[in-house]
Amino acid sequence: MTKINNTMAAFDRNFNIFTEITPEMIKSDGGKGILIDLDDTLAPRNMPVCNETVKNWVKKVKESGLFICIVSNNHKKRTTLYANSLDIAFIYNAFKPMQFCVKRAMNVLNLNADEIIFIGDQLMTDMKAAKNVGIKGYLVDPINLKSGIMIKIKRIIEKKLYKRK
């Protein structure tokens, strides 16, 4: 886990997988709520409903008093089915990194930007969406590295781009 002390950084913390993130960490960063990406962050694209690992993590998050909402660029059917299997709020067709989707999500949580942590696997969509409105970003590695070969390639390009800044 690395924490970058740079306000211009593309993300605030980096994890291998969402299960490394605890409610205590979120709270220590001032978080009262979580916005979380779905595909390759919580689950591989081909997993229609949650598994026990995700269910237990979300349970822990909810029991700690944190609010949580899925923000996905995927379509209605996929996002609704998955979020309903967890019984949590969701936004589909979010068009990340557009600002309006994150602002909609902030309304769903009824929290300010500095009270929210955005968890996602993509620098150019998830982290950019968060940073656009001043939300802290936790970057995770794509959960399904086998199907995520294109994402891996994109990540290498992204890292090179961000290094130059």
Contacts of 51 (CB under 8 A, 6+ apart): 43
H-helix or E-strand containing 36? strand 33-36
Give 18 or 67: the residue with its C-beta nearer to Mg ion: 18
Nearer to Mg ion, 41 or 79 (CB): 41
Query: Shortest Cβ distance from residue 148 to Mg ion (Å)?
Result: 9
Angle, alpha carbons 45-114-125 (nearest 5°): 30
Q: Which residues of this protein are in contact with Mg ion, per CB under 5 A? A: 37, 39-41, 121
Minimum CB separation of residue 34 from Mg ion in Å reads 15
Pick the closer one to Mg ion by CB: 12 or 40. Answer: 40
| Smaller CB separation from Mg ion, 28 or 73 | 73
CB of 127 to Mg ion, least distance (A): 11
Contact 137, 118 (CB under 8 A): yes
> Minimal distance in Å, beta carbon 5 to Mg ion?
26
Q: What is the DSSP letter of 118?
A: E
Closest CA to 86 of 123, 34, 27: 34
